Structure 1
């Protein structure tokens, strides 16, 4: 807490300085001088009610559809271009997001994300479902810090709200945009809004995105290609005064290659496969088949190829998603508004993913991970006119998954399965009730907010685990085949958890907000092949300030936070017969300072800066793994049992100490025509991709820069943009992991996107 008290003093000083800054700014110079054009207001729904982002006591970012289009973002993976403080990791088809050092590294059937993701209020729970595409959006909101009261479980890191564009009454409008770039990239997006009388409207939109593979993988071709189609049809109505209804149906189809990953065999039975490729290898222990310091060569340092490497097979990825969601708002007089928000999603996947680094290549074969989810929320809210602002409601979520997959080795007799796992069902139910109120102490000046949520989680499943099936060819065992030896498990898990928040907001003037709060969150527990694991818990202390100066031509926002993070869930791979075990291990200490600055230097010049400092450490991280034979800090590798390991002092995954982003836009006017030149550069200091902090899991500091030049015709109906993204052509690691498979030590790498460039045209009507 000493760090937080120091941060509090620093932030209090910054807030006092902020209150005195307007006079100083005016004395020096008004950036826009006589041609004042203030920074536009952004309305968000981060508190599940409409507020100006500068009046919202949450550290957050928001981006409209134009910003998403200009950045070329088509899915969650591209968000780091606009929000560099997000850590986004691709573990084959799974997307993992880290915020302020908080993330979920497990993607098993009962694992949950640490960042709550909603599309128009529909709750998204599976990492594979994050392949949902971004198109025809109103805005994207990224909330940092636990949001457990209003957004529920699994909001320890924050919340990501994706808000689709809604049909507009009485308006015929739309847009079409398309681009072509290197890697034969072709994108297209179209939307049309059609009024149906005065009280009804529909909106239809769709997108297509394809590109050749980003990696030259030899005879196999080019890996990590893209091919996605998506469509949405939505309906909006105001059939009577005080009634508003919205319904949308959506379809997303991904049909492409697998994710290209470079693999390297490190050692077999304790013998280095290639001692020459590394420097600083930890000595092999002569009397055991293991390495020192956790069973891996902790100081391994080599430079894997990031552009070209041969693969035996590219694999394939097919994911289809169908979703329907809706909202109904009914004004109930002076009481407020009664709202229902619900959604249903059906995700089907068929994946063949090569795990390169094995000789010969092993596949995750016949991989199906299907899920059906539904979420429902009923909420009563009111008190917008200077009184108590309140929300009270109930939430229900249900998920049912089916999974089948095996590790396939294509050798003699058609090949063999090293394992095969069936999950005929894994059911997840969560029920919650919540209430939150903001009470004015001094009207328009000082208010206090308090909220509480109580959640009950229940999970159950049926597991069939098959061992090696040699020489049976590519066909896996049938799910009802009891003639083959298998393990049958009926795991169960349930728990209940409260979460709460308490905060105070002070508005010394219209353009300034100072806030402080304490909030809690948790990420639900679950089970795996070994046993059950408990929930993660987090208590966050935060203070912040949001400010506008000089006729709203300068915005400066800052926040400081301290996290007490307990019982973090860490998956550790055991062996091919069992898979991973998830353990709750120890505590983490996370604190940091974040600043966001926007300056309108003139009506034609805009400067933005984000500077974040993060200090994260695993302070107490000792645990053991069940049934592991000599792999992690094992003093006697020949004896199975509880094997201890200690990660105390390590840094959490995706936790760079410094994240800095600088942007500058300049408008050139030629009559009624406009040309905008933009540069945006992101810097991240080094960080680890795994909590074990081995040298080969370290991503070194890097910079990526985007450039664009955009022409806008009079009326802004037509625009043409030329762009270069990732000018440096630097491909950072997006995933790194050691695997111990049957005495063979391997490491696998997946990389980020290379430099892309092209031309985009947009027409609005």
Structure 2
């Protein structure tokens, strides 16, 4: 594929938007856009009437885009990034997200499933089949939502029981023997009780080729799940919704690959570096090879690692075992002038991931990650329900979580250490963390005139975390260090919106945000280090935007300008002994976003988005490195997307729809250190190249809309896409540069065919 520069690409997108705005003027008989109803402010409102920056997708849009998990949203929404290393996920919005990947931290982008906050990021990996709507809110959240979030919120609203019997089933087959079966059924038991049941199963071979004899192939799928809703009408104005979900994910899963050559391999020069371990009680005389000595003892040859994406040679039987369970009860009671809602949630998440972290055919290093979490939440809301000029909501939120995490280094000399000292792993760290949060929040909107409204919100939060960090460091005695801290914060929001007419609204806001502090579970920082406990993150957020419905309802154009000023911004790097979270003194993230949807003619629709971001750390030294002026991690300067759909009627045989999707993601630094290739002082590179993504989908719908046939190709140009980069702990010196430089790639080109039936 030809590689155009970013300026030309952006010019092409801008030109496309201008064409979109002109063509409908020529069309004499064009359809209008379907109104999108959202509940971002806890009430049903038109997307164009909500003075908040929101990206929203309805069920038909999600189906057309092949949506099945949170990761798919990256190419559908500006300023949203998703990445993962196995079961550990990173969701960021406008540069802010989950930085402490252990059980001691909280995400900066809050994930909600049917109103229930999901505390562990592993929950975002699972299938989102039968989703009715997705709402993506950008900026600090708190005066309307139960859990604090400095970056934003992603709300998944699944389909609920309806009044009529019906359902759907589909089957998908594709590349790498991919087989997926999904089904949903709606059962109105009576006028009072209604049920909706959902189930799915997915199996796919891995698209990473492992040349080691008998080695397994990563990036496969072995997933299954069920979800159910029971809706009960308790009275004319009272209802209860009981929901439950269980999802499991096995197989090998997503695994990282090494992005640099081994010392002495034919793919690069021999690199002199620090010792393989910071502490080695056995010494060189033990005969156990160091990690930077990649000599196959059977052949005497230097082991070579193939740096081609999806090409590895690993002896470890890599695997994953992830589970997600959630139960919730939502009670609503409507009075004449107000409404009461209670949302009770309980969730369990767990994962066990085994990886070959020496990235070779030698038995030098296995990493076993184990995490378990159990959470309970209770949210109470009281809302106004009249037509007066004052609309308000008052709420209370309680959240508790018990989580544990273990990182065990096995194989090679790690096992020698373990056997000598009678422990299960030669090097391990982790611990238990108990988190508790209480909050009261309120927000009110007053209609000053028919077209001018003023909004104010307030929140008070108390957070407490306590835990015990445990582990073993090569020799001596296992350690157990207790850690605890508590924080409280008042945050608020002020906003004004002005309807110039029925189709044009201007809005602006100022909000403060807060995210709880956390506990570092890495061995080196748990033993008296300054950042053993890191502090809360706060933000002052300024925003102004416009929402326009143009050309008699055939076009929607929403855009905003924002500036976020962060104090104690939380970020993570991998130090000498593992992941460490820090507080930056300050950073500024600012930018512009725009989203457009338009009907050009009755059969042709276009959607487009663009996000332009400027991010910079204040002058400061972190872990001995000056990061002032660096880009905030996971924050590309530019992202944009363009989608074009066209429909054709084929008489009595039904209709066809062709959809083309293009998305561009600029280069990304994945840590605050902004390390480029060859930057040996900081230990290698954390910069990922920019990439383009092209998808194509062709649908056939039967004339009665019961049957659907879809064929598709994703990543049509088979472009290499670096989806996440991680510089591993310094003591794992497998490349002679202070820790392995690992990368997770987005999927290569894939094709598939889906057959669906509605009844």
Shorter-chain TM range is 0.7 to 0.9
Match of 2:284 in 1: none
- Partner in structure 2 of residue 674 of structure 1: 655
Select 2:627's aligned residue among 644, 647, 652.
647
Runs of 4+ in 1 over 6 A off after TM superposition: 412-415
Structure 1 residues 154-553: aligned runs within 5 Å: 154-168=148-162, 170-219=163-212, 220-263=215-258, 273=264, 277=268, 304-334=307-337, 336-357=338-359, 360-365=363-368, 367-410=369-412, 416=418, 417-421=425-429, 423=431, 425-443=432-450, 445-468=451-474, 485-528=477-520, 529=526, 530=529, 531-553=532-554
Check whether the contact 2:511–2:540 (CA below 8 A) recurs between aligned residues.
Answer: yes
In structure 1, what is the equivalent of residue 298 of structure 2? none
2:447 aligned counterpart, secondary structure:
strand
Q: How many residues align?
A: 682
Relative distance call for 1:747 and 1:248 in structure 2 (3 A) is same
Paired residues of 1:559 and 1:593 also in contact (CA < 8 A) = yes
Q: CA shift at 1:278, angstroms? A: 7.3
Task: Give 1:718 deviation, angstroms.
Answer: 1.1
Partner of 1:741: 731
- Tell me how large the CA RMSD over aligned residues is: 2.6
Determine the structure 1 residue equivalent to 2:668: 687
Instruction: Measure how far apart 1:456 and its partner are.
Output: 0.2
Q: Is the 8 A contact 2:332 2:340 kept in 1?
A: yes
Which residue among 627, 641, 659 is the counterpart of 2:639?
Answer: 659
Shift of 1:737: 2.2
The structure-2 alpha-carbon separation of the partners of 1:413 and 1:736, relative to structure 1 and needing over 3 Å to count, comes to: closer
CA contact (8 A) 1:223 1:314 kept: no
* TM-score normalised over the length of structure 2: 0.85
The corresponding residue for 2:617 is 618
Quote how far apart the aligned CAs of 1:503 are.
Answer: 0.1
Give the Å deviation of 1:103: 2.1
Partner Cα distance (1:421, 1:668) in 2:
59
Instruction: List per-residue Cα deviations over 1:636-661 (Å, max 9, x = no partner).
Output: xxxxxxxx221111111221111111
Distance in 2, matches of 1:650 and 1:273, equals: 33
Alpha-carbon spacing, 1:284–1:122, altered in 2? closer, same or farther (3 Å): closer
Report the Cα offset of residue 434 of structure 1: 0.3
**Matched-pair contact (CA < 8 Å) for 2:85–2:256:** no
Aligned pair in 2 of structure 1 residues 753, 361: CA closer, same or farther (>3 Å)? farther
Secondary structure at the counterpart of residue 631 of structure 2:
coil
The 1:552/1:186 distance shift into structure 2, 3 A limit, reads: same
**Counterpart selection for 2:85 from 77, 82, 91:** 91
Contact 2:641 2:664 in 1 (8 A): yes
Equivalent of 1:703, from 685, 692, 717?
692
CA distance in 2, matches of 1:164, 1:241: 24
Query: Deviation per CA, 1:294-329, whole angstroms, max 9, x where unpaired?
Result: xxxxxxxx9942131212224111012221012111
Instruction: Write the distance in 2 (CA, Å) between the matches of 1:412 and 1:702.
Output: 39
- Indicate conservation of the 8 Å contact 1:265/1:273, yes or no: no
* Cα 1:489/1:513, change in 2 over 3 Å: same
Q: Following the alignment from structure 2 to structure 1, what is the Cα–Cα distance between the partners of residues 267 and 713?
A: 38
Q: Secondary structure at the match of 1:54?
A: helix
> Are 1:131 and 2:117 matched, yes or no?
no
Shift in Å at residue 77 of structure 1?
Answer: 2.1
User: How far apart in 1 are the matches of 2:306 and 2:588?
Assistant: 32
Change (3 A) 1:732 1:547: same
> 1:641: which partner in 2?
none
Moved more, 736-745 or 495-504: 736-745
- Aligned position for 2:299: none
**TM-score when normalising by structure 1:** 0.85
Aligned to 1:723: 712
Report if aligned partners of 1:62, 1:140 keep a CA contact under 8 Å in 2.
Answer: yes
Q: Distance in 1 between matches of 2:411 and 2:126?
A: 31
- Specify the SS of the correspondent of 1:256: coil
Taking the aligned partners of 1:713 and 1:284, their CA distance within structure 2 comes to 64
Give the superposition deviation at 1:85: 3.3
| Cα deviation digits, residues 8-42 of structure 1 (max 9, x gap) | xxxxxxxxxx9xx9xx989x9635423x3210011
Rounded to whole Å, the distance in 1 between the matches of 2:640 and 2:436 is 40
Contact 1:329 1:339 in 2 (8 A): yes
Counterpart Cα distance in 2 of 1:257 and 1:506: 53
Structure 2 CA distance for partners of 1:307 and 1:199, relative to 1, 3 Å: same
Deviations for 1:246-301, whole angstroms, at most 9, x for unmatched residues?
A: 1111110111114332226778xxxx65697379x9x999xxx9xxxxxxxxxxxx
Change (3 A) 1:412 1:376: closer
Distance 2:602 2:636 in 1: 35
Unmatched 5+ residue regions in structure 2? 1-16, 279-304, 419-424, 521-525, 677-684
Tell me whether 254-263 or 676-685 shows the greater mean CA deviation.
Answer: 254-263
Q: Which stretch has the larger CA shift, 79-88 or 91-100? A: 79-88
Cα distance change on mapping 1:209 and 1:82 into 2, 3 Å: farther
Unmatched 5+ residue regions in structure 1? 1-17, 290-301, 470-483, 625-643
Is the contact between residue 90 and residue 121 of structure 2 (CA under 8 Å) also seen in structure 1? yes
Whole-Å Cα distance in 2 between the matches of residues 179 and 76 of structure 1?
19
Check conservation: 1:660, 1:683, Cα contact below 8 A: yes
